[in-house]
Amino acid sequence: MKLSVINTGFFKLDGGAMFGVVPKSLWNKLNPADDKNLCSWAMRCLLIEDGDRLILIDNGLGDKQSPEFYKHYYLHGNDSLLGSLKNAGYSPADVSDMFLTHLHFDHCGGGVKRTGESTSLVFPNATYWSNRGHWEWAVKPNAREKASFLRENIMPMQDSGQLKLIDADGESPIPQFGILHVNGHTEQMMLPIIKYKDQTICYMADLIPSAGHIPIPYVMGYDTRPLITLVEKEKLLNEAAKNNYVLFFEHDPSIECCTVKQTEKGVRLDRAFALSDL
Ligand SMILES: [Zn+2]
């Protein structure tokens, strides 16, 4: 099995929204805000090559939205989904599985492209994976998440016939990883837990989006059920510290991976490193 980071570029989000109840005097030291109070975040995806499967986990926010939409997100950096895939030696047609942790636009927008008036899937031969509970939640979004669930990202997957919905109680349909289902950020987000070179890599998605979010109360304002996130984070972080798991951050602007350790203050970052160092 081979793992590669697929960087799809950086965007900016309001620092206050990203750190919830944590005061700016604290979070600004972790990820300094610009003059609009925005911080820079990565959209870091993961490619797994194994046997006849080529599995991509999440795909960034894509390029089919209007300039008006992108104006709010200040995209920057030189990386792109297809550019990074090409650097890894692949074209979109090679991807066999497009695994989506959840359907917020910055995780799934890169899976659908616009050609003139119509949309089509970027990965013509891939199965697109979501799960039933999350899908039903995303297609009838609540007012709080409405701006994150965009129909043009979601419906084309179903219309194409390439969508498959995972059963939360069942086994992972992808043998290369197990799936941890969590419910604090949104309904049934899925975190891939990958065994790789005798290590366990946890793809953190939006449960712990960056290394700055490791302390338990550092929960995003976006989360629909923050008290559930607290419990889910604590459980995973204790397990990670005990078993030396590697956390892979989708949104940290610089840190790809880290291990964590128990301290007097609770679980904290131990060692930060690149995935390629494993
Ligand atoms: Zn999200």
Interval 155-207: pLDDT, tens:
999 999 999 999 888 789 999 999 999 999 999 999 999 999 999 999 999 99
- The Å distance, Cα 100 to ligand 1 centre, comes to 11
Residue 160 sits at φ, ψ, to 5 deg, of -75, -20
Query: Which pLDDT tens digit goes with each residue over 231-248?
Result: 999 999 999 999 999 999
Concatenating the DSSP letter of every residue in 123-142 gives -TTPEEEEEHHHHHHHHS--
Query: Which pLDDT tens digit goes with each residue over 3-21?
Result: 999 999 999 999 999 999 9
- The Å distance, Cα 69 to ligand 1 centre, comes to 17
- The Å distance, Cα 164 to ligand 1 centre, comes to 20
- The Å distance, Cα 151 to ligand 1 centre, comes to 15
Residue 13's pLDDT is: 98
Environment class of 236 (CB within 10 Å of its CB; exposed 0-12, middle 13-18, buried 19+): buried
| Count of CA atoms in the C-beta half-sphere (13 A) of 122 | 26
Residue 35's pLDDT is: 97
Query: Which pLDDT tens digit goes with each residue over 60-101?
Result: 999 999 999 999 999 999 999 999 999 999 999 999 999 999
- The Å distance, Cα 133 to ligand 1 centre, comes to 15
User: Is the predicted pLDDT of residue 36 greater than 90, yes or no?
Assistant: yes
Helix axes 132-139, 151-160, angle to 10 degrees: 130
- The Å distance, Cα 180 to ligand 1 centre, comes to 15
Which residues hold their Cβ within 5 A of ligand 1, which is an ion?
104, 206
- The Å distance, Cα 104 to ligand 1 centre, comes to 5
User: Is the predicted pLDDT of residue 149 greater than 90, yes or no?
Assistant: yes
Amino acid type, 64: K
- The Å distance, Cα 51 to ligand 1 centre, comes to 30
- The Å distance, Cα 206 to ligand 1 centre, comes to 5
Amino acid type, 30: L
Residue 19's pLDDT is: 98
Residue 87's pLDDT is: 98
Residue 171's pLDDT is: 86
- The Å distance, Cα 146 to ligand 1 centre, comes to 12
5: its two tokens:
């980071």
Q: Which residues pair with 119 in a beta bridge?
A: 114
> What CA–CA distances, in Å, run from 29 to 17, 22, 163, 206, 220?
16, 12, 41, 20, 16
| Count of CA atoms in the C-beta half-sphere (13 A) of 119 | 20
Residue 258's pLDDT is: 98
> What CA–CA distances, in Å, run from 156 to 43, 59, 127, 132?
22, 15, 13, 16
Residue 116's pLDDT is: 87
Decide if 53 contacts 176 (C-beta within 8 A): yes
Decide if 37 contacts 243 (C-beta within 8 A): no
- The Å distance, Cα 44 to ligand 1 centre, comes to 13
Mapped onto helix, strand or coil, the DSSP state of residue 46 is: strand
- pLDDT bin (cut points 50, 70, 90) of residue 112 is very high
- The Å distance, Cα 185 to ligand 1 centre, comes to 7
- The Å distance, Cα 209 to ligand 1 centre, comes to 9
Residue 217's pLDDT is: 96
Residue 117's pLDDT is: 87
Residue 168's pLDDT is: 83
Beta-strand pair 53-57/97-99: parallel
81: its two tokens:
């989904």
53: its two tokens:
């499967």
Q: For residue 271, what is the enclosing H or E element?
A: strand 266-273
> What CA–CA distances, in Å, run from 15 to 32, 51, 229?
8, 41, 19
Residue 169's pLDDT is: 80
Q: What is the mean pLDDT of residues 22-45?
A: 97
